[in-house]
Amino acid sequence: MPPAPPTHGPLPVAGFSSAGVACGIKANGNRDLLVVTSDRPATVAGVFTLNRVQAAPLHVSRQVVTGGVCRAVVINSGNANACTGDTGLTDARSMVRLCAHQLDLPTEQVAVCSTGVIGAPLPMTQVEAGIADACGQLSADGWADSADALRTTDLVAKAHTVQGVVNGREITLTAIAKGSGMIHPNMATMLGLVATDASITADALQAALSQANGRTFNRISVDGDTSTNDCVLVLANGQDEPITCEHPDWAVFADLLEAVLSPLAQAIVADGEGATKLVTVQVEGAQTELQAEQLARQIARSSLVKTALFGNDPNWGRIVAAAGQAAGEHDIPLNSNDCSLQIAGVAILAAGKWLGSDAEAAASEAMLADAYTVCLRVGDGDAAATMWTCDLSYDYVRINAEYRT
C-alpha cells in the first residue's frame, strides 16, 4: 500500500482556488454547484465511465483531457444532464463558456461535470447565476464547500489530502469525490476531482491516474450499477521540471495519488445507499493479481452475499459460490477443497471443510461490527487483491424507490 500517511484535510493546494454554492438546482436548497480553478496552466488527466450511455459533459471534458491543459472545472449536482440530446450538449458547452468568461480563460481549458437525476434538462438560469456566484467566492480554503456541493444522495461530503516529497519538493494532493448509489467498477463509478501542485507531464499523470484508479475507485461496489456520468479528473499545476513515466519519482507520485483516492473510495462504500457496514473483500493465494481481482469482484457485487452481510449471516456457501461463478466465467482454476475462509477474523472454512456451528455463531457475532474483512484463500499462489463493498439493506430499496418522487 502507498506509504504516505493522510493529513487532516482538505488542505489548500498552491495555485488552486475553489468554491461551492447553492443556486437552486436542488429543491432542498443545498449547495449544488462548484468551481475549481488554477491560477496557472495545469496538466490534466481523466478517466471516464465505460457505460455506453454517457452524459453530455463527458464529451466536453474528454476533449479538455485530450488537449492536456486545464485551468478550471465547473460541476453541478442534482441534475445529470444525461439523455438530454442536443440540448444537453449545448448546455454543457454553455456551462464551460460561462465559467471561462467569468475567469477570463480559454473555453478549451475548462472541463465540466454533472451528477444527479438522468433525463431532466438543466435549469440554465439557475446554473448561470450559480457559476457567477461561485466564481465570485473562489478561495484557497473552499474545498469543504466544494465537496459539499458534489453531494446527491451522499450522507456526508468526501474530501481528503495527502502530502509527500516528489522530485526533491514537498507536494500536496487534495481530492474531493461523491458517490453513494450506482456504484460498481467499470471506470469510475462516481465523480472525483484531484488538485496537486506537483509538476508532471500529461502522459505520466494519465498513467498514474489509470493505475491508482484501478486500485481504488475500480475496486468498490455498492449495487452493481455503473453511472452515465462517472468521471475522475486530476489537475497538476507545478512549474518546476516535470517528472515523466521514466523518472525515478514517478512511482512515488503514483503512490501518493493512490493514497489520496483510497480513503475516498472506501468512504463511498461506507456511505452506500442504505449501507450499515463497510466490508473489505480480500482474495489471497491466487496465481495472478487479475485472477484474484476477478474473484473478489464477484463476491463484492453478489446480491446474495450482500444481503447475508446485512443479516449478519456468515453464509460461507454464498461466498465460495460467488468465487466459483467468477472462476467459471474467467476460466480461473478453482477447487473448493483448496478454499479457506475467514469472516470478521473468525475462521469458517479450512481446506474446504466447514468448521462447524460454533465458528458460525462466533462469526455472526463479529459481523455486528460496522467494518470488517472477508478473506478467502483459494490456493497457494502469491497473488492477492482487495475490493470494498457494503451490505444491501431494506433502506437501499426505499431510497431508490423514492429517488425521483
What is the full DSSP assignment across 139-199?
A: BTT-HHHHHHHT-SS-SS-EEEEEEEEETTEEEEEEEEEE-SSS--SSS-SSEEEEEE---
| Cβ atoms < 10 Å from Cβ of 55 | 31
How do residues 124-154 score in pLDDT, each as one tens digit?
Answer: 999 999 999 999 999 999 999 999 999 987 8
Q: Worst-scoring range by mean pLDDT, 195-209, 267-281, 323-337? A: 267-281
Percentage of the chain surpassing pLDDT 70?
A: 93
Average pLDDT over residues 260-278: 85
CB 17 within 8 A of CB 142: yes
Average pLDDT over residues 322-334: 95
Name the CATH code of domain 278-401 (choices 3.40.470.10, 3.10.20.340, 3.40.190.10, 3.40.50.150): 3.10.20.340
CB 118 within 8 A of CB 228: yes
Q: How far apart are CA 189 and CA 50, in angstroms?
A: 9
How do residues 336-350 score in pLDDT, each as one tens digit?
Answer: 999 999 999 999 999
DSSP output for 36-53: EEEEEEEEEEEEE---SS
How do residues 148-192 score in pLDDT, each as one tens digit?
Answer: 999 987 888 999 999 999 999 999 999 999 976 544 555 444 789
Average pLDDT of the chain to the nearest whole number? 91
Q: How far apart are CA 265 and CA 270, in angstroms?
A: 9
Residue 103's closest CA among 111, 114, 115, 92?
A: 111
Query: What dotted CATH number matches 6-270?
Result: 3.60.70.12
Q: For the purposes of burial, counting CB atoms within 10 Å of the CB of 276, is it exposed (0-12), middle (13-18) or buried (19 or more)?
A: middle
How do residues 303-323 score in pLDDT, each as one tens digit?
Answer: 899 999 999 999 999 999 999
Question: What are the boundaries of each domain within the chain?
Answer: 6-270, 278-401
Tell me the catalytic residues: 189
Q: How far apart are CA 379 and CA 204, in angstroms?
A: 36
Predicted local confidence at residue 78, as pLDDT = 92
CB 274 within 8 A of CB 392: yes
Instruction: Please give the DSSP secondary-structure letter assigned to residue 33.
Output: E
Q: Which three cell numbers stand for residue 345?
A: 477474523
Local confidence band at 39 (pLDDT 50, 70, 90 cut-offs): very high
Predicted local confidence at residue 138, as pLDDT = 98
H/E stretch holding 368 reads none
Average pLDDT over residues 209-235: 83
> Whole-model pTM?
0.82
H/E stretch holding 77 reads strand 69-79
- 371: β partners: 278
